Structure 1
Amino acid sequence: MEPISSGSSLQSNMRETVQSQNAEIPPQMSNENKNKPSCEHFESVGEYIMVGGRLFKKSDTNTYLEDLGPGTPVEQPGQVGFANPLPLGLASFSFMCLTLGLVNARVRGVTNLYLLNASFIFGGAVVLLSGLLSFCVGDTFCMTVFGSFGGFWISWGCLNLEQFGVTKAYADDPQALQNVLGFYLAGWTVFNFLVMVCSMKSTWGIFLLLLFLDLTFLMLCIGSFTQSTNVSMAGGYFGILSSCCGWYSLYCSIANKDSSYVPLIAYPMPGSQIV
């Protein structure tokens, strides 16, 4: 289609098209029906649209549609899709994983989780919400992973809060507490291994996040059974690496050429169908 030089020429060209279309109207139609604008035949050039012999801007068509008859066929706008809940889950998860990893690695001599327990519960609620939102968009994998880890962060905060009385219940037998905690972490090691295997055709960021996280659970589990500080510290460092992978995947999910001068690429795994 040739470019239109002015609004007047655009209107005249489009009127000729409409007049030729109106000439095809059967003579038995009443004058009332002829005068009614119809959306069955229209011309559109650039930001203008000709409907019923009248020229409108496309941005003003909603105002014109209010004047159409109830029987006039109108093209309905497409529904707005849901937002991607993955970045929300990655943001909260990576933050929680970083703070827990720093404490387990005894960075700057910090060994007490008490001040972080409330943030674990709050962060767990956000991760759980991300899992529920993944259900709405039909993402079974993210729903399972984020929903489960939302429960993990909430339960981990509860285990370390005095108000829940877990530590007090094992005050007479500290070794039993460490064994039960090891069982708890062993279960999460198995679960994390399964979801890690299911992420082998996603992106390198997601896969490495789950790989380092599985090593974190494994090290913390062994550290609980053996009460080895060095093994628990190794689990803390793996947790820090896992959070770094989460931060990278988060940035790749929200940064693009329209929002950032430094967009990063989420590199797919071999055989992945992700574009």
Structure 2
Amino acid sequence: MSTSSGIEKIANESSSLAVDPDMDSRGKIVQDIFADDQYVTLGPHTYRRTDLLNVLRPAQGSPYADAYPPAAPASSGRRQLGNPVPLGLASFSLSCLTLSLCNANVRGVTNVKLLISLFMFFGGAIELFAGLLCFVTGDTYAMTVFSSFGGFWISWGCINTDQFHSITGYGDDTHMFNQCAGFFLAGWTVFTFLMLMCTLKSSWGLFLLLFFLDLTFLMLCIGCFIDNNNVKMAGGYFGILSSCCGWYSLYCMVVTPENSYVNLNAAMMPHAPTA
């Protein structure tokens, strides 16, 4: 038993205790009682406080029943954690949108140097952090997706950083660079397809996000292999659609009647779990 200051001890002194002479014939007198927040000790025996309350509570219908409210359930001791999935969707959607606008040559922009910090920190580090938080909450799928794509954004930022010499290392051999970049994107095409297959009973927003993202990687992969800028631009437009689906899924997860007048519910696919 705990001996902290929170423990109460009731010592019945023999001088102040009125004892019935016939008490010994009915049972042994409990001299010491110890109690804390969870347990009560009566002599040599220890009981849970809630168990004693349940046993000693008056029967239903007794005039004293209302004097003993039901015992509160024991706390699990775990704090309620926030949902890290919206954070992962936010970091992915913003990074995917800006890169896809450049891939689609919107307003003639093709140089992504300004976006490297966005790719490495918000798209990479923050999304990787969201994936690790999903590990804490026990969401294996979200942990795999966010952590993997967090690594993708960090690696893509490194590829476009001059100090890593990922592009300049090939010199004038652009054909070799395009083929190697195609291999890089082909691997992500396969990974995204596998993650897509795991969304067939989820929401339409998540399914379409990965569907358009898989088409994005496929178009960019083919565009690198055949060195065709139009195919790469098609991949950029698919990436814009993917990011829009991410924004939609993000909004559905964070909006509530308490924080907004515009509420959206995630559209679920057929046979999706309802619980």
State the TM-score, normalized to the length of structure 1: 0.74
Return the letter of the residue paired with 1:265. Answer: N
Q: What does residue 207 of structure 2 align with? A: 207
Q: CA deviation at 1:52?
A: 8.5
Answering whether residue 85 of structure 2 is matched by residue 81 of structure 1, we say no
Q: d(CA) in 1 for partners of 2:255 and 2:217?
A: 30
Q: CA deviation at 1:76?
A: 3.7
Contact (CA 8 Å) 1:89, 1:146: kept in 2 or not?
Answer: yes
Return the letter of the residue paired with 1:102. Answer: L
Q: CA deviation at 1:80?
A: 2.7
Percent same amino acid at aligned positions? 55
Q: 1:166-245 alignment to 2 at 5 Å?
A: 166-245=166-245
Greater Cα radius of gyration, structure 1 or 2: 2
Q: CA deviation at 1:103?
A: 0.4
State the superposition RMSD in angstroms.
Answer: 2.8
Contact (CA 8 Å) 1:202, 1:274: kept in 2 or not?
Answer: no
Contact (CA 8 Å) 1:106, 1:233: kept in 2 or not?
Answer: yes
Q: Which runs of 5+ in 1 are unaligned?
A: 1-25, 44-49, 56-72
Answering whether residue 80 of structure 2 is matched by residue 101 of structure 1, we say no
Answering whether residue 267 of structure 2 is matched by residue 267 of structure 1, we say yes
How many residues matched?
224
Q: CA deviation at 1:256?
A: 1.5
Q: d(CA) in 2 for partners of 1:212 and 1:74?
A: 50
Q: d(CA) in 2 for partners of 1:140 and 1:96?
A: 23
Q: CA deviation at 1:137?
A: 1.0
Q: What does residue 5 of structure 2 align with? A: none
- Superposition misfits of 4+ residues, deviation over 3 angstroms: 26-33, 50-53, 73-79
Q: 1:236 to 1:80 in 2, by over 3 A?
A: same
Contact (CA 8 Å) 1:160, 1:167: kept in 2 or not?
Answer: yes
Q: Larger helix proportion, structure 1 or 2?
A: 1
Return the letter of the residue paired with 2:160. Answer: N
Q: 1:116-127 alignment to 2 at 5 Å?
A: 116-122=115-121, 123-127=123-127
Q: d(CA) in 1 for partners of 2:30 and 2:229?
A: 92
Q: Which runs of 5+ in 2 are unaligned?
A: 1-25, 34-48, 59-64
1:170-228 Cα distance to aligned partner (Å, 9 max, x none): 01311100110001000100110110011111100000000000000001011111111
Aligned with 2:264: secondary structure?
coil
